[in-house]
């Protein structure tokens, strides 16, 4: 997986999404990759990384994501619940 990340960069990618980081109803049978995975991705590439998967609007979770090195997070399911 990690060799592809440098390939994406060489093809012109300006950011990456990495996930799924937390448990999510979108992928109930697939275990999350977790914060260690996110940290590894952030250390391998020199472009911004955004966490995705099971992200909620919680300060603690966003802080964990940023501590792992991600620039930010993508929130989908949490926002779909309110629309």
What end-to-end distance do the CA atoms of the chain give, in Å? 35
User: How far, in Å, are 17, 53, 59, 62, 78 from residue 9 at the CA level?
Assistant: 12, 22, 30, 25, 29
- Distance (Å, rounded) from C-alpha 47 to C-alpha 14? 6
Nearest to 49 by CA among 13, 82, 17: 17
* 52 assigned to active site: no
DSSP secondary structure string for all residues of 33-59: -HHHHHHHHHHH-SS-EEEESS--S-H
pLDDT tens, residue by residue, 14-61: 999 999 999 988 888 999 999 999 999 999 888 999 999 999 989 999
Catalytic pick among 18, 19, 20, 49? 20
DSSP lists the bridge partners of residue 49 as 16
Query: How much is the pTM?
Result: 0.88
């Amino acid at each position: 997986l990690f060799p592809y990340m440098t390939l994406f960069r060489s093809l012109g990618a300006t950011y990456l999404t990495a996930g799924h980081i937390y448990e999510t109803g979108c992928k109930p049978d697939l275990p999350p990759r977790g914060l260690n995975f996110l940290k590894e991705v952030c250390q391998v590439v020199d472009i911004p990384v955004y966490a995705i998967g099971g992200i909620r609007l919680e300060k603690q979770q966003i802080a964990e994501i940023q501590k792992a090195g991600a620039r930010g997070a993508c929130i989908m399911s949490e926002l779909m619940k309110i629309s």
